[in-house]
Structure 1
Amino acid sequence: MKRLAGIFTIVLIFCYASFGYQFYGYPYVQKIKNFTLIDQNGKEVSFYDFRGKYLLVFFGYTYCPDVCPTSMLRIKETLDHLGSYKKYVHVLFISVDPERDTPELLKRFISFYDPSGKYITGLTGKPEEIKKVAKMFKAYYEKVPIKDNPEVGYLVDHTAFIYLIDKKGILRIIFRPAND
């Protein structure tokens, strides 16, 4: 038990160190219910498949021009700082744009931040499934039409929170970006 607490503390410290100047965490306790989505390899995976690991969960999308790449880079830096403790942590990138974010696109996007494919899983699904999962995390997202750029068509306005979940599936800390 002490070892688990120690690992959790290390993950927490590195999250704060990596997100420090830009992200602020606040404690939160919520048991996350199981859900099933499609990963970047086209396979069904459930939230419970990741039990036993600390999870960083981020809601975003591959066409995101700013927040998602920046947040994912911070997450990558956190993983890199963990060294040998990295094996205890996994990242879930949950798409809020299931219309465009196919498993193939997610795989390409995720590979930029995790070329090995071992530490970050991209998830997508039917719009109603994504909505249900986002609601569980209290994550907001909304499609915003872009009239002056028909090629893009729309962007997705979304929260930029990073959720830290313990090995038992309990949401412990929500990191939010600064209001700079």
Structure 2
Amino acid sequence: MKRLTGLVILVFALIFSYQSFGYQFYGYPYVQKIKNFTLVDQDGKKVSLSDFKGKYLLVFFGYTYCPDVCPTSMLRIKETLENLGKYKDKVHVLFISVDPERDTPELLKKFISFYDPEGKYITGLTGSPEDIKKVAKQFRAYYEKVPLKDNPEVGYLVDHTAFIYLIDKKGIIRLIFRPANDDPKRIAQDIVQTMKFFGDAR
């Protein structure tokens, strides 16, 4: 209970600080420290959150078989990167699969290439179901299989949280962008303003 109360106070303190900063954030201010984790990237290599130290991160939970939400959200993320201008190299994207049973590194690589042909700004991550579950729990990200009785070839879809999380250089979630607020220009503005707020926009 004390821990929850402390978190609530911290969130309100951050919101108050953001308001005093003189900028109305488009995303929802949030504070959550993410512990280091290790998954497998699209090249089959083990990658840890700590490998991106010094970068601001946009994190999205999705899967390659997703028929609509994921492609749309990833397109918005791609457009967000394009709107960052000179700050683009300070940001990296993590696409974390919520369908590790089907999302092999090879499939992730093919999927990511549509949004990052150079392979420079977006990393796809997969792993064991247990590892994915642990990571999703940190973000409070929900996902669940939905069987498709009428389409046995596909088998199932995955109902999942469609938030985009902004993590700062210290591994702390600072903003959450919900499906209702997915304007790439405004997300990019929020990222730059967050950098300025923490003295990282140079």
Q: Which residue of 1 aligns with 2:32?
A: 30
Q: Which runs of 4+ in 1 moved over 2 A?
A: none
Cα offset, 1:82, TM superposition: 1.2
Q: 1:176 aligns with which of 172, 178, 182?
A: 178
Q: Of the candidates 162, 174, 188, which is equivalent to residue 160 of structure 1?
A: 162
Choose the corresponding residue for 1:48, options 41, 50, 70.
50
CA distance in 2, matches of 1:109, 1:84: 26
**Can you give the 5+ residue segments of structure 1 that lack an aligned partner in the other structure?**
1-8, 10-15, 17-23
Give the whole-Å Cα distance in 2 for the aligned partners of 1:87 and 1:26.
Answer: 24
**Superposition deviation, residue 83 in structure 1:** 2.0
Q: Greater Rg, structure 1 or structure 2?
A: 2
**Helix, strand or coil at the partner of 2:118:** coil
Paired residues for 1:71-90 under 5 Å:
71-90=73-92
Q: Count residues with an aligned counterpart.
A: 158
Q: Distance in 1 between matches of 2:103 and 2:160?
A: 15
Cα distance in 1 for partners of 2:27, 2:179 equals: 9
Aligned-partner Cα distance in 2 for 1:175–1:38: 25
Give the TM-score taking structure 2 as reference length. 0.76
Structure-2 residue corresponding to 1:66: 68
Sequence identity (%):
86
Between the aligned partners of 1:80 and 1:177, the Cα distance in structure 2 is: 19
Residue type at the aligned position of 1:58: F
How far apart, in 2, do the equivalents of 1:163 and 1:108 lie? 23
AA matched with 1:39: D
Structure number with the higher strand fraction is: 1
TM-score normalized by structure 1?
0.85
SS at 1:101 equivalent: coil
Distance of 1:134 and 1:155 partners within structure 2 = 17
User: Structure 1, residues 75-120: CA drift from partner, whole Å, max 9, x if none?
Assistant: 0000011122110000000000000000000000000000000100
1:127 corresponds to which residue? 129
* Aligned mates of 1:157, 1:27 — CA distance in 2: 25
Shift, 1:177, TM fit? 1.2
**SS of 1:87's equivalent?**
helix
- 1:55 maps to amino acid: L
Q: In structure 1, how many angstroms separate the alpha carbons of the residues matched to 2:59 and 2:168?
A: 11
1:178 Cα deviation after fit: 2.0
CA distance in 2 between partners of 1:63 and 1:39 (Å): 17
One-letter identity of the residue aligned with 2:125: L
1-structure distance, mates of 2:180, 2:38: 31
Of 87, 91, 94, 1:92 maps to 94
